[in-house]
Amino acid sequence: MTDGQKTSRRSQAWFGARGRSGMLYRSWMRNQGLGHEVFDGRPVIGIATSASELAPCNTHLTQVAEAVKRGVWQSGGLPLQFPTMATGETLMRPTAMLYRNLMAMEVEELIRANPLDGVVLLSGCDKTTPAMLMGAASVDLPAVMVTGGPMLNGKYRGQDVGSGTHVWKFEEDLKTGRMTEEESFFAEGCMARSNGHCMTMGTASTMACMAEALGMQLPGSAAWPAVDSRRMETAQAAGRRIVRMVEEDLRPSRILTREAFENAVRVNAAIGGSTNAIIHLTALAGRVGVDLRLRDFDELVRAVPTLVNLMPSGKYLMEDFCYAGGLPAVMAELLRGELLHGEQITVTGRSVAENTGTTDDTARVGSDVITGLDAPFQPAGTGIAVLRGNLCPDGAVIKQSAASPHLLTHRGPARVFDSPEAYHAVADDPDLDIDENTVIVIRNAGPKGYPGMPEVSNVPLPAKLLKAGVKDMVRVCDGRMSGTGYGTVVLHVAPEAAVGGPLALVRDGDPVVLDVPNRTLRLDVDDAELTRRRQAWKAPTERHTSGYTWLYTQHVEQADRGADFGFLRGSRGHEVPRDSH
Ligand code: FES
Ligand code: MG
């Protein structure tokens, strides 16, 4: 490397400065024991760490950061770790999703405001991965992601128990008397027995796989358990690699192309991934100017079978997925079936095809955990479906693999609840006027209405029906469902009720017609009547008139646009800001 190249580094606008300002930028850094020589123009690598004890899935990222640092030093870079906010899924109210955009905004601004040439993004819990990708994409400096890895398989009474998925099962067991409260306390501990994020194919594992499928993290990264030594080895490799990426100027805008998103959408179908991936990928695409539409999530996957047999749709957990070959095995099989763009560049500097061709990936396909295309776990066309109709003019989604086949075509009377709370208040009432054919409509749970579009859509069935042995019912909602959830639940109805979407016009008893094979969701009420109802509809009064939640409700876009803030779309680049002193 020539001196000319070194001084062109962004970080040299700070550390290479002469006189008073250079002294100011370097001197304070030296209180960390850094010698003058580290400011010689070597790549300065930020390690963005979303570790927090309030986000239990991310607590161990501080250790992962140490491994990244080793790699950065090894390749001749200067690593500087910094904290970002952490949107912990389990504790944050009203929902971590309310804060995804705030975290993305914070990550973006922190990267741009500081003397960084590249960044390693450490995430884990659901929203932390998309938030970091979105922020980094809008800065467009070289970036590599290292997700923190899943927890070890949950084990309770000799059985595998899956994060989230078993919370719903245990709740049903409690309600029906199959489990005592004391047993449930013990079972809680058995479900989350190591560091890491949810080990079902929920949103965290899905987004880890999406980061890998997009080419934004090293091959194999998504599946190593959080406590596996190979997670740290991979983190160290990512540290080495980011320094080279800075030298090669390999930025997200080169990696996150339309083809990369098409790969991710198809991989999501093959892994039986979370419906939340739709929202996050759409929002991320908006940051890099890729026109990814809701219909792509249906049309692109029509020929893609589900190859991965993981909860909530299947039987196994991420640890099993890892031992069976992880995402490289899945991608190798999709490549074999010509279902991926193999020439896409990734953070390795090599293409998708080159990454997967360097291992024994193909040889590993064909277990009960990762099936081959010839005998897939579930046939093509049975994954996520995108619905249209007069109840969801801008679309809605359903995860067929988590639904009951007999309910995928269904006509039933609506029973409408204006909030999830209104439903929960009566759900255990033995006289509740609901039977198994009823369509439970929950509204005002959308991005603006709740606000934050929480994971409340898969409300548990009424207690009296559970006791009678009913296992599933059709539910329709403008909110989301946890990636670990299951049931015949129509999600992300757009536009949402709070902005006057047709969901706001539904009344008790209206026939709702769900026809997943034909991709429709309709309200069987004539147009004239719906027009009358629309004229009488009044927008709910704004509950938030100041603060972040106000900002959110003013600027959040609808689910089909990824629920990003309109003003955060696009990239704002990484020009060095004006001097501070
Ligand atoms: Fe954090 Fe599931 S709750 S990943
Ligand atoms: Mg979740």
**95 C-beta closer than 6 A to ligand 1:** no
Q: Which ligand 1 atom sits closest to the C-alpha of 197?
A: 4
Q: What is the mean pLDDT of residues 71-83?
A: 98
Instruction: List the residue whose alpha carbon is closest to atom 3 of ligand 1.
Output: 89
Q: From its phi and psi, is residue 8 left (phi > 0), alpha (psi between -120 and 50) or beta?
A: alpha
Q: How many residues does the chain have?
A: 581
Asked whether the predicted pLDDT for residue 3 surpasses 70, the reply is no
Using CA atoms in the order 428, 409, 501, 300, what is the torsion angle rounded to 10 degrees?
Answer: 120
> Residue 330 and residue 107: Cα distance in Å, rounded?
31
Q: Nearest 5°: CA angle at 375, between 404 and 162? A: 50
pLDDT of residue 93: 97
Which among 184, 186, 187 is positioned nearest to 175, based on CA atoms?
184
| Confidence band, pLDDT 50/70/90 cuts, at residue 486 | confident
The yes-or-no verdict on residue 87 having pLDDT over 70 is yes
For residues 209 and 258, give the distance between their C-alpha atoms in angstroms, rounded to a whole number: 17
Which ligand is nearest the CA of 147, by number? Answer: 1
8-state DSSP, 370? B
Question: What pLDDT does 359 receive?
Answer: 57
- Kindly report the protein residue whose alpha carbon is nearest to atom 2 of ligand 1: 198
Atom from ligand 1 closest to the CA of residue 89: 3
Ligand 1: atom nearest CA of 202 is 2
pLDDT at residue 445 above 50? yes
Helix axes 128-139, 276-287, angle to 10 degrees: 10
pLDDT mean over 461-485: 93
State pLDDT tens for residues 411-438: 999 999 999 999 999 999 999 999 999 9
Does residue 162's CB lie within 6 angstroms of at least one atom of ligand 1? no
Distance 50 CA to ligand 1 centre (A): 13
Question: Distance from the CA of 197 to the center of ligand 1, in angstroms?
Answer: 5
Ligand 1, atom nearest to 484 Cα: 2
455 Cα–ligand 2 center, Å: 7
Query: Does residue 1 carry a pLDDT above 50?
Result: no
pLDDT, average across residues 62-79:
98
Per-residue pLDDT, 458: 92
ipTM metric: 0.91
Q: Give the model's pLDDT for residue 199.
A: 97
DSSP of 51-96, one letter per residue? --TTSGGGTTHHHHHHHHHHHHHHTT-EEEEEE-----TTT-SS-G
If you average pLDDT over residues 110-122, what whole number do you get? 98
Q: pLDDT-derived band of residue 364, with 50, 70 and 90 as boundaries?
A: confident
Give the model confidence (pLDDT) of 312-343 as tens digits: 889 999 999 999 999 999 999 999 999 999 99
Task: Indicate the top mutation candidate among 60, 125, 207 to test ligand 1's pocket, ranked by most ligand atoms within 8 A of CB.
Answer: 125
Lowest mean pLDDT among 52-66, 70-84, 167-181: 167-181
**Residue 412 tokens, joined:** 């039933």
Mean pLDDT to the nearest integer, 83-103? 97
Place of tokens 């194919």: 201
| 544 CA from centroid of ligand 1 (Å) | 28
- Residue 381's pLDDT is what? 87
Ligand 1 center to 151 CA (angstroms): 10
Ligand 1 atom, smallest distance to 205 CA: 4
| Ion ligand 2, residues whose Cβ is below 5 A away | 89, 126, 203, 482
Q: How confident is the model at residue 358 (pLDDT cuts 50, 70, 90)?
A: low
CA of 454 to the centre of ligand 2 (A): 9
pTM for the complete prediction? 0.96
What is the average per-residue pLDDT within 166-194?
91
pLDDT of residue 215: 98
Q: Which atom of ligand 1 is nearest to the CA of 163?
A: 2
pLDDT at 5: 45
Query: Which ligand approaches the C-alpha of residue 191 most closely?
Result: 1
| Distance between Cα 249 and ligand 2 center (Å) | 34
> Helix, strand, or coil here: 43?
coil
For residue 94, the CA-to-ligand 2 centroid distance in Å is: 13
3-state secondary structure of 160: strand
Q: Which residues does 188 contact at the CB level (< 8 Å), separation at least 6?
A: none
Q: Which is nearest to 203 in space by CA: 319, 57, 341, 83?
A: 57
